Amino acid sequence: MKQTTNTDLNVRTNAVAEFAVEETGWRFDNSYARLPEPFYVRIAPVPVNAPRLVILNQALAKSLGLNFNILSGEDAAQLFAGNVLPQTAEPIAQAYAGHQFGSFTMLGDGRAILMGEHLTPSGGRLDVQFKGSGQTPFSRRGDGRAALGPMLREYIISEAMHALGIPSTRSLAVVTTGETVLRETPLPGAILTRVAASHIRVGTFEYAARLKDGMYVKTLSDYAIQRHYPELFETTNPYLALLQRVIDQQASLVARWLLVGFIHGVMNTDNMAISGETIDYGPCAFMDEYDPYTVFSSIDYQGRYGYHNQSRAAQWNLARFAETLLPLLDPVQEKALALAEEAVHAFSDIFQQYWLAGMRKKLGLLTEEAEDTELIEALLMCMHKHRADYTNTFRALTAEPLPGDDLFQDSAFAAWHTQWQARLARQSESKTSAYSVMRVHNPAILPRNHRVEAALTAASEHNDYKEMQRLLEVVTDPYADTPEYRKYRTPPSAAERVQQTFCGT
């Protein structure tokens, strides 16, 4: 058993020292910790005195080949607080940089510790990271801790995204620390355990590019290709192929966000994972009423990452990624720049193709016609005019008759509906088949902001997790349209409407 210690911390109690974490099935092989040390700092989580397990993702644990049923609640809390780690864990804080709202900053894991890379029974390699685990050399003036509400928020929304089929980091557990963190008010502290394909970000490449030795970008690139896209080594230019693959992955990801009305909130380069997973669920939110200019993030003063800007923000970030790879793309600078520009400029068309393909499925369009984009845009214009609920509108179109909402009584919508029905009739597939496709691409239930906030308030202020558990049950079954789930489909009243979401740091 390896006990995590910092030199100025007390030795753990015998009860914790006897904690049998090895029997749970951890299989760590920590390849990132074998990179040159400028990429990380070896450091253990800062222990907490009174951890308590509040939620554990048993389904995820099972898929990872882990069995936490053999642990008591107290022992599980010690594990997920980082007080005790498996023998093969090699805790590190990763170094990276990032453009935050357009401004470059040297960053790093200021409140996170990577426990290691777990090898799953299916042969996967996944990072296991603590978030809120105490100060690191990258904390700057931060306390390195996290409040309970934002950690539960990430748990709920990341699991909902996974259920929607959108690539995402996932949440394994949340523990309370028994300590208070000071933000605008004193809040209960917590630690989230996050699972990810990796935590290699565009910002990691930006960090490598700022190091004096130019070989660091090549070292990181080779590692990233080997870990995520090893088949690219067989191409004539693996580094160009890496750039093109990451561009494709991000175009697909952002299109999927928009298709369900998701708004990330902090699309900084340090929050863009080269694996193509959604990472960092700070001030994110799902849109209720359709408005392409919707912004929720309390720190996004200019709407840089608003709904209508998400694809442009992604392309801007990818241009920063391309800049870090220039020395590897071609030894001739002009040729390297031309290759990078061509790849980044292709993003818009790739994104549009993914978005259009997704919208066709949402409307049951099983073939392709040149006028499909106009048909889709006409519906969105009607929805915007009436501030129609984004999720409920698309779900309502999957069945007949339509409800009596204002949108569906509008003459412009009636004209659109006639055109759409004619479009469906031109397909060889039946309308029943089209509606079936629509029902599996239009969720009935999302983690609506007011429901999330209500669950977090109950948990944080009243130590009541019943609403959170119920919300998790519902949002991880997003295509079910059952009577008992009906209240979770209902848009917020004026009093319930959430206007802003917050970062939590």
Catalytic residue ranges: 270
CA 68 to CA 502: how far, in whole Å?
32
CA 475 to CA 455: how far, in whole Å?
13
Do the bridges between strand 2-3 and strand 52-56 make them parallel or antiparallel, or are there none, so unpaired? unpaired
Nearest residue to 110 (alpha-carbon basis) of 136, 147, 146: 136
In a 3-state reduction of DSSP, which class is residue 500?
coil
Instruction: Write down the residue that tokens 């694996």 correspond to.
Output: 275
Q: Are 146 and 214 in contact (CB under 8 A)?
A: no
CA 49 to chain centre: 30
- b/e for 412-429, b at 16 or more Cβ within 10 A? ebeebbeebeebbeeeee
Q: Are 418 and 378 in contact (CB under 8 A)?
A: no
Q: SS3 sequence, 123-145? A: CCEEEEEEECECCCCCCCCCCCE
Q: Are 464 and 498 in contact (CB under 8 A)?
A: no
CA 117 to CA 198: how far, in whole Å?
8
Query: 37, exposed or middle or buried, with CB in 10 Å at 0-12, 13-18, 19+?
Result: exposed
Who's near 290: CB < 8 A, 6+ residues apart? 261, 380, 383, 384, 387, 388, 389, 390, 393
Q: Are 362 and 259 in contact (CB under 8 A)?
A: yes
CA 497 to CA 461: how far, in whole Å?
20
CA 443 to CA 288: how far, in whole Å?
13
- b/e for 179-196, b at 16 or more Cβ within 10 A? eebebeeebbbbbbbbbb
Task: Give the DSSP letter of residue 116.
Answer: E
CA 26 to CA 371: how far, in whole Å?
53
CA 497 to CA 108: how far, in whole Å?
35
Q: SS3 sequence, 4-18? A: CCCCCCCCCCHHHHC
CA 445 to CA 487: how far, in whole Å?
10
Nearest residue to 320 (alpha-carbon basis) of 36, 35, 39, 105: 105
